[in-house]
DNA sequence: TAAAAATACTCCATAGGTATTTTAT
DNA sequence: ATAAAATACCTATGGAGTATTTTTA
């Protein structure tokens, strides 16, 4: 078991990952705050220790070899795990303290974060939350890379690689939103998907997961999407208010005042229509699992 | 992403694990081939870097603190992963070479290993296999600890922690074995479990997984186990030959000559009775996955 | 030629060693 | 009294720095 010690060091792996990320020894050295020769030496030593060339150095670019690809992938995971180990120790000496980086998707952030931040500050005064707003794909990547501690996403989590756990925060139902006077808005009983058939539907831009989820409702009845798309929920609301069509809005946003200042009318969807689940997601093995469970509980309270 | 570098080193973690394993700084130092003060210094530095005390040093014993328990667990995983990374590089530069440590359970080893070793030597001449015979629980632990590369076990794998993959090698059917002239042995048609009702059954000692699997067949019909147990299959065969009862034997052993020199009679069990599956198991993330797939294929051929 | 990585060397921070002290039973 | 870990202090390996050369589009 003891063997002869590992012929690699975490620092060397860190440097190698930086080289892979920046595709340059010089830039990697900058990023790691060491001189280029120092970094070169460490990479050379790493390659010697492993008995394998990791990078092919061409004149104007550095590319990972086939073996390098695999080693780098393992190195990234190892470094994330090492970070988790360190973080675990920090948690031990002082739990619910320090800074936690949480990503939130744009269709949830404005309607949950302000309230949540206030509530968390009250419940966990020593915990600082750095909120980050971005689309699902970006957040998922950051989570895997260890630059994000947790993320508030729509479930199920579409994470390519990487082992994650989650805890549900809220069921976010869709509401059918129409301009005042629109025929679909007169009735106030729950709307069946059937009623959308042939209606002019406005949706969010691509890249928003909310778009996919709304499409799932629409596609069932072949509803007709109009030719242009909104880049945010407030824009979408404006467009509907201007009579360009109808849309589906998340209850969470509406409850948080998304419709303030407009004349929009909403109806719930019939209960058999799909709702989207919002959850708090984190890397399995994170040091802060306990905290995230508490956080999720607190957030679930707030979402009601 | 770059941050300030990790305040821990693989070497420090190695030392810490050695201390946890030996429960002594002095013995850990020996195991790591360094002086005791050197190791003490590294542990102190590690504790300082993590901001947490890992070990409680009492007069005559060293015990891991609560935090130490968790950190050590993470450290072990990290070191295994680091070993896999190094191994992955080695594989790259020279695949199907070197030594691979494979554990085998006692009820399979004598009947598969001799043949398999010969066949593997022919197919992969540069690969040396170090065979290890032990019970399932021991092998599983060694696999998790990284002191074993793979194991031939009965499926499903009863691994507590640790992520493993497997590939099936063989379906090992049970044969009903009786002393010559025993009423259950006259017929040669497949035996129904029903027929075992009330019979005096001989089984292996505890700790052998084969015992559990045979019990699964017996318990269904409430067969009666005799008061003593065999410690190995050959002993079991002798006992049956001496008329102490009947038993269930794995086809694999019988095919390999387990009954040679005895008068035992066997009948297959009816096809709806459970057979045990033998598989090759390895840690997920091992560097040698490709080799193990080839190995399993080769072993599956041999098992026929 | 110019930009990037490799080499040459110097320096110092630190892992490791030996000798010794402290501590707890 | 004794066994084990901590401390003191010295050595030397190797990681990091600056200056320079090599390499190749």
Q: Estimate in Å the CA A39 to C1' C20 gap, whole number.
A: 40
Task: Give yes or no for a contact between B252 and B112, defined as CB atoms under 8 angstroms apart.
Answer: yes
A160 has a pLDDT exceeding 70 = no
Chain B neighbours among A 101-140 (CB < 8 Å)? none
Query: Is a pLDDT exceeding 60 seen at residue A155?
Result: yes
CB contacts < 8 Å between A and B, how many? Answer: 119
Which nt is closest to the CA of B24, judged by C1'?
D4
pLDDT of residue B279: 94
Strand ranges inside A44-87, DSSP E = 55-57, 62-64
Sheet containing strand A164-172, edge to edge, reads A127-133, A98-104, A150-155, A276-283, A164-172
Both tokens of residue B236? Answer: 């079991």
CATH code at B174-274:
3.40.190.10
The SS3 of residue B78 is helix
Name the band, by pLDDT with cuts 50, 70 and 90, for residue A195: confident
Parse chain A into domains and list their residue ranges: 10-78, 94-170+277-302, 174-274
Does any strand C atom come closer than 7 Å to the Cβ of B42?
A: yes
Minimal CA separation from A5 to chain B, in Å:
7
Tokens of A71: 């080693």
B142-165: pLDDT as tens digits = 998 888 999 999 988 876 567 899
Please indicate if any CB of chain B lies within 8 Å of the CB of A270.
Answer: no
Please state the separation of Cα B119 from the chain's center in Å. Answer: 21
Is domain B95-168+277-302 classified as CATH 3.40.190.10?
A: yes
CB contact under 8 A, B11 and A6: yes
Q: Give the pLDDT score at A292.
A: 92
Fold classified for B10-88? Arc Repressor Mutant, subunit A (1.10.10)
Beta strands at A55-57 and A62-64: parallel, antiparallel or unpaired: antiparallel
Q: Choose among B234, B262, B229: nearest CA to B249.
A: B234
Structure tokens at B210: 């084969």
B61 touches strand C (CB under 7 A): no
Q: Is B258 on the interface with A (CB under 8 A)?
A: no
Pairing of strands B200-201, A98-104: unpaired
A-chain CB neighbours of B146 within 8 Å are 1
Which residue in A74, A86, A147 is closest to B50 by CB distance? Answer: A86
- Token pair belonging to A92: 């031990």
Domain A94-170+277-302 maps to which CATH number in 1.10.357.10, 3.40.720.10, 3.30.360.10, 3.40.190.10? Answer: 3.40.190.10
List A176's β-bridge partners, or say none.
A248, A267
User: Nearest residue (Cα to C1') for C7?
Assistant: A37
Of B11, B82, B89, the CB nearest to A52: B89
Q: What is the CATH number of domain A10-78?
A: 1.10.10.10
DSSP, collapsed to helix, strand or coil, labels residue A125 as: coil
In this model, does residue A102 exceed pLDDT 90? yes
Instruction: Give the closest nucleotide to B39 (alpha carbon vs C1').
Output: C16
Contact B6 A86 (CB under 8 A): yes
Question: A247-250 and B55-57 as β-strands: parallel, antiparallel, unpaired?
Answer: unpaired
CA quadruple B92, B97, B98, B99: dihedral sign: positive
Alpha-carbon gap, residue A53 to A291, rounded angstroms: 42
| Joined tokens for residue A251 | 């209850």
CATH topology match: B10-88 vs B174-274: no
Residue A221 has pLDDT above 70, yes or no: no
Q: What is the DSSP string of B222-291?
A: TPEEPS--BSSHHHHHHHHHTTS-BEEEEHHHHHTTTTTTS--EEEEBPTTS--EEEEEEEETT-TTHHH
Among candidates A11, A21, A50 on the partner chain, residue whose Cβ is nearest the Cβ of B86: A50
In the numeric block, the tokens 């990320």 are attached to A21
Instruction: In whole angstroms, give the CA distance from residue A37 to residue A21.
Output: 18
Cα(B3)–Cα(A88) distance, rounded to whole angstroms?
17
pTM, 2 dp: 0.80
pLDDT band at A16 (very low <50, low <70, confident <90, very high): very high
- pLDDT tens string, chain B, 304 residues long: the values are 334 578 899 999 999 999 999 999 999 999 899 999 999 999 988 998 898 989 988 767 888 988 899 999 999 999 999 999 999 998 887 777 788 999 999 999 999 999 889 988 888 888 899 999 999 999 999 998 888 999 999 988 876 567 899 999 999 988 999 988 888 877 778 887 778 887 888 999 988 999 988 888 777 666 678 888 899 999 999 999 998 989 999 999 999 888 988 989 999 888 777 788 999 999 988 988 888 998 999 889 887 7
Handedness of CA B109, B110, B112, B115 (dihedral sign): positive
Nucleotide nearest to A61 (CA to C1'): C4
B41: contact with A, CB 8 A cutoff: no
Q: How much is the pLDDT for B2?
A: 33
Q: Report, in angstroms and rounded to the nearest whole number, the Rg of chain A calculated over CA atoms.
A: 24
Closest CA to B191 of B267, B304, B112, B92: B267
Q: Name the residue among B216, B204, B196 with its Cα closest to residue B275.
A: B216
Backbone angles phi, psi at A16, to 5 degrees: -60, -40
């Amino acid at each position: 078991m003891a063997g002869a010690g590992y012929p690699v060091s975490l620092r060397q792996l860190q440097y190698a990952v930086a080289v892979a990320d920046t595709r340059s020894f010089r830039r990697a050295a900058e990023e790691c705050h060491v001189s280029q020769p120092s970094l070169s030496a460490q990479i050379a030593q790493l390659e010697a220790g492993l008995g394998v060339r990791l990078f092919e150095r061409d004149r104007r670019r550095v590319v990972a070899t086939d073996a390098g690809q695999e080693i780098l992938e393992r190195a990234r995971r190892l470094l994330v795990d090492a970070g988790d180990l360190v973080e675990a120790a920090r948690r031990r000496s002082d739990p619910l303290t320090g800074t936690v980086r949480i990503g939130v998707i744009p269709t949830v952030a404005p309607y949950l974060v302000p309230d949540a931040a206030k509530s968390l500050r009250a419940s966990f005064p020593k915990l600082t939350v750095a909120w980050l707003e971005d689309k699902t794909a970006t957040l998922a990547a950051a989570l895997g890379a260890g630059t994000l501690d947790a993320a508030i996403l729509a479930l199920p989590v579409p994470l390519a690689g990487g082992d994650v756990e989650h805890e549900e925060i809220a069921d976010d139902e869709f509401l059918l939103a129409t301009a005042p006077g629109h025929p679909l808005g007169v009735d106030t009983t729950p709307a069946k998907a059937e009623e959308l058939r042939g209606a002019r539907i406005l949706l969010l831009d691509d890249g928003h997961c909310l778009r996919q989820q709304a499409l799932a409702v629409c596609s069932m009845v072949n509803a007709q999407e109009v030719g242009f798309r909104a880049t945010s929920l407030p824009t979408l609301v404006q467009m509907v208010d201007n009579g360009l069509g109808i849309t589906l809005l998340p209850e969470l946003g509406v409850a948080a005042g998304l419709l303030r200042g407009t004349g929009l009318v909403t109806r719930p969807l019939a209960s058999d229509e799909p709702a989207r689940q919002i959850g708090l997601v984190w890397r399995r093995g994170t040091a802060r699992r306990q905290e995230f469970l508490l956080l999720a509980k607190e957030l679930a309270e707030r979402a009601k």
